[in-house]
Amino acid sequence: MNNTKTSSILPNVIAGVLAALLLLPMLIFTALPNTVFGYSSATNQGVADFTASAQRLADAYRNIAQKNQSALERLVNSILPTFWTNGVADYDEYKVSDSSGAINQNWLIAIGSVRYKQDLNIMDDNALEDLLFGKLDYSASITNGVLNISVWDLSPEAYMDRLGFTSEEKKWAELIYSVMAEEEQVTVDGTDSAGNYTTDYGDITFSNAEIPVVYYNQTDARWGNKMYGKSGTIGAAGCGPTALAIAVASLTDNKVTPYDVAQWSVANGHRYEGGGSYHSLIPSGGRHYGLTVTSIGRDGKKLVEALQEGKLVIAIMAKGHFTTSGHFIVLRGVTEDGKLLVADPASVKRSNKEWDLRIVTNEASRTLGAAGGPFWVLSA
């Protein structure tokens, strides 16, 4: 990517954005292009109002599945009248084959950020639905009285072309996407050179803590290559379902697998397409499987006490020893000298190490939402 026009200001912009990321990841697309494009929405309001507006937009993206459905219905309703003649339908019935929803959400955020020129007064629920509607393409034909409508997502490049982005706007969308995508990457074990998961981890139980813990690895060949939603496999994006499956299988008689939990997560709106899982998966999924789930915020003392009482803690970790982005792990015990024991869905090696409490608390995510976190205590 050629950034020669903006190289003199990029360091300061990036530094400011990365600082904001510690508090609110959505600020990355509501700050970065402002300085370069000269849009005024970020500079003419106070930091508190700006952050609140960005958070409101973040909440809109969390309900993206519902808005995808609304956009699909809007498209279908626009297609049907084109197959009427003199007020009479040319078809007896219609069927819709929907392959939409697979576009990487970080791309959607990046494209929307540039399209609406960072104006947070415009970037609301309706604007998001327009963005989702605009990415849809389709084909339609009548066969034996049936109108068959196939719907899919444009590629990011094709969508930017449809929107008439200039080359500079495309570059900024690419920059926003690349920074956000980097925050989503997780290093996992068990991949071959082609990216396939081939290792069967068998039956592993950790028994060196208060309670035995059933261990699952998200890359296990038994489920790692299966899709988690529409835009990734369990091996690549399923740390959330895997962590929850570990807790459920360890605390109850239900030997649920990561695949089982992944299916439930998708069906109940906890899959974050293009990323991983919404934080809501842990409290909602835990309760669905009969567990008591309590958010303890960032309280290290309560965390240790819960582990000493034989409970498990699911943590959402930020960049550090466990991940380059966001990653769910299970805290499964505490040693006599105060070290934490973990079950990391992406690494047997890390699961066999003892960890300083300070590392875990310092690297736990600071992005808190309605679902609580970054630590949830689970018990039977």
Domain segments of the chain as ranges: 4-182, 204-379
Tell me what pLDDT residue 43 has.
Answer: 43
Q: Tens of pLDDT along 266-280? A: 999 999 888 899 999
Task: Give the type of residue at 312.
Answer: L
Within 136-206, strands assigned E span: 136-143, 146-153, 204-206
If one counts every other C-beta atom within 10 angstroms of the C-beta of residue 360, the result is: 23
Q: Tens of pLDDT along 87-138? A: 999 999 999 998 887 666 667 878 888 888 756 567 777 888 888 999 999 9
Tell me what pLDDT residue 172 has.
Answer: 80
Residue 67 phi, psi (nearest 5): -70, -30
3-state secondary structure of 190: coil
- In CATH terms, 204-379 corresponds, of 3.30.565.10, 2.160.10.10, 3.90.70.10, 3.40.50.10300, to 3.90.70.10
Task: Give the type of residue at 216.
Answer: Y
Query: What is the model's pTM?
Result: 0.54
Mean pLDDT of the region 187-213: 79
Instruction: Give the confidence band of 38 by pLDDT, cuts at 50, 70, 90.
Output: very low
SS (H, E, C) 148-212: EEEEEECCHHHHHHHCCCCHHHHHHHHHHHHHHHHCCCCCCCCECCCCCECCCCCCEEECCCCCC
CB 105 within 8 A of CB 275: yes
3-state secondary structure of 159: helix
DSSP letters spanning 255-285: ---HHHHHHHHHHTT-B-TTS-B-TTHHHHH
CB 162 within 8 A of CB 117: no
Task: Answer positive or negative: Cα dihedral of 28, 33, 38, 39.
Answer: negative
Token digits for 16?
Answer: 């400011």
Q: Is the peptide bond before 241 cis (omega within 30 degrees of 0)?
A: no
Per mean pLDDT, which range of 22-31, 67-76, 205-214, 256-265 is the poorest? 22-31
Instruction: Give the confidence band of 49 by pLDDT, cuts at 50, 70, 90.
Output: low
Task: Give the type of residue at 9.
Answer: I
3-state secondary structure of 288: helix
